[in-house]
Amino acid sequence: MSNIPKIVILGAGYGGIMAAQRLQKELNYNEADVTLVSKHDYHYFTTHLHMPAAGTDAIDNARVSISKLVDEFKIDTVKSTVQEIRIEDKKVILEDGTLSYDYLVIGVGGEVETFGIPGMTENAFFIRSINSVRVICEHIEHQFALYKQDETRADRLNFVVGGAGFTGIEFVGELSDRIPQLCKQFDVDPSLVNIYNIEAAPTALPGFDPALVEYAMNVLKKKGVTFKLATAIKECTPEGVLLATDEEIKAATVVWTGGVRGNSMIEKAGIEAMRGRVKVDEHLRAPGHDNIFIVGDNSLVINPEIDRPYPPTAQMAMQQGPVVASNIVASIRNQPLKKFTYENKGTVASLGKGQAIGVVGKTKLTGFWAAQLKKVIDIRWLFIIGGFSLAFKKGKFF
């Protein structure tokens, strides 16, 4: 049996893929065994999922086969679901086997946070993965078909989106673009369709520049979105939602985008975590575990300027991946580790076709130019992971 170090990466998301690609570049021949484990044999672009969820873009434009991203002569890829991490034994238990590691990278992404709202887990849809958005898209279309069979069921044309954060706003933007097409396809009067975006906080897009939030809300209102801010959802039922105000909105479709947390697998492994996110050290290691590195939504990095955690973003994950890889290589070679510093390159939220808001440095962008920037960001990611050919193949659809 080989006694070179074994590196196991859990999750082929933004953090995991970047770590794998950097390891394959930095490691010398036979310096370590690297295994990348992920639930699916493709990497998917979560930042693009609001589009296939609403049906404004094809599912396949939001994913790429892992085999196209990593060199399978250098990295073993395993399509499996991780069930448990056993730190004491340095083992990962998969649904169909076990892997031993010397160094572990945890990047399995976040989970939905419903804040214990009764019925949310059972009755709402979530924009989390390729499979979850496929279901949402088909469900929406099906509601139009069912409505045509029984036009007394007005709730079939009511769409509730819980949460007006980044994901909720991007999704209602796309949904409001899709509705006119569906109305035409199914001969439905567009005035019968309602999109409600419900948010417990007093503002949409909390944390975003207020002038940009106002711009975004005006754009979306014009597209037919009804906002209910400072309004908590008390319960989600098979018939719709019950609000804290005791108002009931009957809707056959409820999509919950109101919260994400870290991963419960981390908590179960006994790694110190806050709601499934590990407050990593400056080298992105789990405290007290020099051989366990954490990337992306599983990590918690403090913004020193405000002494609060940075929000979990793809941007954060993709910056952490290469640092984790370099630090594992440095650990193997007994060299000093790199410190991780996050660099905010800007934030853009799409509001549907040709519309977006964004902040880059001190510059605020709206409308067409912000939408172009969103495309550039998405295409840049394709270029980073798959070079010009992937950027050209998938990017032309963005």
Structure tokens at 116: 């214990």
- From 26, 95, 138, 170, the catalytic residue: 170
Q: Comparing C-alpha atoms, which of 135, 323, 156, 177 is closest to residue 239? A: 156
Q: CB of residue 72 vs ligand FAD: minimum separation in angstroms? A: 17
- Residue with smaller CB distance to ligand FAD, 188 or 204: 204
Q: CB of residue 316 vs ligand FAD: minimum separation in angstroms? A: 7
Sites of contact with ligand FAD (CB under 6 A): 10-16, 37-40, 46-47, 49-50, 81-82, 107-109, 127, 166-167, 170, 295-298, 312-315, 317
Q: Contact at 8 Å (CB) between 298 and 266?
A: yes
- Residue with smaller CB distance to ligand FAD, 231 or 257: 257
- Residue with smaller CB distance to ligand FAD, 83 or 363: 83
Q: CB of residue 129 vs ligand FAD: minimum separation in angstroms? A: 6
- Residue with smaller CB distance to ligand FAD, 50 or 228: 50
Gyration radius (Cα) of the chain, Å: 22
Question: Residue 291 contacts by C-beta under 8 Å, 6 or more apart in sequence?
Answer: 90, 101, 102, 103, 104, 285, 331
* CA separation for the pair 217, 205 (Å, rounded): 10
Catalytic status, residue 170: yes
Q: CB of residue 170 vs ligand FAD: minimum separation in angstroms? A: 6
- 3-state class (DSSP) for residue 20: helix
Q: Contact at 8 Å (CB) between 85 and 265?
A: yes
Question: Residue 28 contacts by C-beta under 8 Å, 6 or more apart in sequence?
Answer: none
DSSP string, 98-130: EEE-SEEEE----EE--TT-TTHHHH-EE--SH
Q: CB of residue 185 vs ligand FAD: minimum separation in angstroms? A: 25
Q: Comparing C-alpha atoms, which of 44, 31, 230, 224 is closest to residue 134? A: 44
- Residue with smaller CB distance to ligand FAD, 60 or 247: 60
In the numeric block, the tokens 């979530």 are attached to: 126
Q: CB of residue 167 vs ligand FAD: minimum separation in angstroms? A: 4
- Residue with smaller CB distance to ligand FAD, 40 or 250: 40
Question: Residue 26 contacts by C-beta under 8 Å, 6 or more apart in sequence?
Answer: 325, 326, 329
* CA separation for the pair 135, 102 (Å, rounded): 39
Residues assigned a catalytic role = 170
